[in-house]
Amino acid sequence: MEYRHLGRTGIKVSAIGLGTMTFGEQNTEADGHQQLDYALEQGINLIDTAELYSVPPRPETYGATERIVGSWLAQGGRRDKVVLATKIAGPGAVLGVKHIRGGSNVLDRANLFAAVDASLQRLQTDYIDLYQLHWPSRPTNFFGKLDYQHHDAPQAVVIEETLDALAELVRAGKVRHAGLSNETPWGVHRYVQLAETTDRLRVASIQNPYSLLNRSFEIGLAEMAIREDVGLLAYSPLAFGMLSGKFLNGARPPESRIVRWSRFARYTNPQGERATAAYAEVAHKHGLDMSQMSLAFVRQQPFVTSVLLGATTMAQLATNVGSAAVTLDAQVLAELDAVHRSQPNPCP
């Protein structure tokens, strides 16, 4: 397993991380523990979760994923072997979520302290290595939203207050480092600018979607990630499973999330289907497993710190972790770029 620097923190994380948002919904506690055991055995040290999880978010499963990760950690001897990352939920109206702290979950001091304390309890640990802001407090474009329309919202919290609260949590020993998620180029710039000009806490990473079907990170954020050492923790690298090939030719496995829940339709538009078929042809031509090819593409990008994998079966997880041994040559990369140029970012 390859390990990479997490921003300027001095911590090294595995180039493949384990995403856990299916734990407590599509995966049982026993499933989750099996995945975590396997990940650790394979050299994965980055474990990513969130207070929002399981997904889709609902009151009955709120915090379930953290509790499953916590019961695994409580078995002993593992906490110092992992880099534990979790997230505070942003304003609930974005996702139609009203069950987190009464729907008042903005990124202010009160919410940050309440969220961290609750996560620590569920995770059964004294500290969080990387505490991430799941989505911004301000109205902006994320979760596939396009056509930015500027307006100030009364619930928006200034970034200075968020950073000051995070710094308090670091001084208290509850959090080691902070990261962003679903952020924009302006947002990253503002966080970094405040760290440099006002001596505030510096963010270490950004967790945004990135895959062959959505390379929008390259447009404005890739340069920020490299120049400012705010590397990408890439989520949805298989685009909700589309890039595994299991949905080719209109197939819809009944157990998949895009079949079970209509909210997961981000990658199933006609142009996404066409692009996926073209990427499948590249994989077939070069004798590559489509999942491994897609994940290796993400891992090989210079702005990527770690690729966050999620799986509902051990077979999927084994295949996906196996992508760590795959390196795409110049010819394959050129053919993938040719598909991208013919249909850029079909699923932003």
Distance, in Å, from the CA atom of 167 to the CA atom of 313, rounded to the nearest integer, reads: 38
In a domain, 113, yes or no: yes
CA–CA separation, 193 and 61 (whole Å):
37
Give the catalytic positions in this structure.
Answer: 53
Report how many domains make up the chain. 1
- Say if 326 falls within a structural domain: no
- At 135-181, the pLDDT tens digits run 998 888 898 888 888 887 766 789 999 999 999 999 999 999 999 99
Residues 6+ apart with CB under 8 A from 200: 160, 163, 164, 167, 194
Cα gap 76→78, rounded to integer Å: 6
pLDDT at position 103 is 83
Q: What pLDDT is attached to residue 154?
A: 66
Judge whether 89 lies within some domain: yes
- Angle, helix 290-299 to helix 330-342, in steps of 10 degrees: 90
108 part of a folded domain = yes
Has residue 188 been placed in a domain? Answer: yes
Among 313, 311, 259, 249, residue whose Cα is nearest residue 280:
249
pLDDT for 94: 79
The answer to whether residue 35 sits within a structural domain is yes
Q: What span, in angstroms and rounded, lies between the C-alpha atoms of 218 and 203?
A: 19
- Assign 156 to helix, strand or coil: coil
Q: Is residue 307 part of a domain?
A: no
Provide the CATH number for the domain around residue 52.
3.20.20.100
Backbone angles phi, psi at 125, to 5 degrees: -140, 165
pLDDT, residue 155, reads 60
d(CA 247, CA 256): 10
Range of the domain at 162: 3-207
Tell me if 80 is assigned to some domain.
yes
Please list the ranges in the chain whose pLDDT falls under 50. Answer: none
